Amino acid sequence: MLIVFFPILAVAFLVKAAIWPLNAWLVPAYAATSAPVAALFALMTKVGIYAILRLWSLFFPAAIAAPTHFGASALLVGGLATIAFGTVGLLASIRISRIAGFSIIVSSGTLLTAFALRSALVTGAALYYVLSATLAVSAIFLIAELARRGDTAPRASSLDAEDAASEDT
């Protein structure tokens, strides 16, 4: 029963994690939405990867220490294919929001590949990578929205002029 149940759950979470053949939805969806929502979605993509890691360790605890374990080779190949697909899309993109979307795909592929190796050191490093990569891509979505609208930060000289004008009144 477990051998039938786990692949169904894994496919559902791999769709959310944007593994290669299942990630055609991610870039158009994230590029079309507003920047704050896309930044939140970037965080939620990593939830699928984390769920796979937790389910794998929950359902197959003996397989963690074993050199060959259930689904590791498929996850490794899928992660490497995801990295390759995301990199090609990243290089072919012109819009910043699409570049950020493909960056999520590359990041997901990197994490899936790292978790498929099932080394404690690699998994620990990947967990640190999750935080920095997710925050960086979320920031790219927010910056892309500012660039699209043409918003800029106020300059110090304009702030001084406003302060001087307010003191005169």
Is the residue at 6 inside a domain? no
2 falls within a domain: no
Residue 45 lies in a domain: yes
Q: Per residue in 65-98, pLDDT tens?
A: 555 566 778 888 988 999 999 999 999 988 888 8
The candidate with the shortest Cα–Cα distance to 96, out of 144, 41, 47, 42, is 144
Cβ-Cβ contacts under 8 Å for 117 (sequence gap 6 or more): 76, 123
pLDDT at 61 (0 to 100): 66
Q: Indicate if the pLDDT at residue 144 is higher than 60.
A: yes
Task: Give a yes or no: residue 9 inside a domain.
Answer: no
Rounded (5°) CA angle 138-54-86: 40
Q: How far apart, in Å, are the Cα atoms of 47 and each of 63, 156, 164?
A: 22, 41, 50
Mean per-residue pLDDT, 1-24: 79
pLDDT over threshold 80, residue 167: no
Count structural domains, the chain.
1
Give percent above pLDDT 90 in the chain: 9
At 88 the pLDDT is: 93
Token couple for 27: 């870039």
Residue 12 lies in a domain: no
- pLDDT score for 110: 92
Q: Which range has the worst mean pLDDT, 76-80, 83-87, 147-151, 155-159?
A: 155-159
Q: Is residue 13 part of a domain?
A: no
Question: What pTM value is reported for the model?
Answer: 0.77
Cα gap 16→48, rounded to integer Å: 5
> Which domain range does residue 116 map to?
18-168
pLDDT at 49: 85
Question: Across residues 52-64, what is the average pLDDT?
Answer: 71
Instruction: Assess if residue 1 is contained within a domain.
Output: no
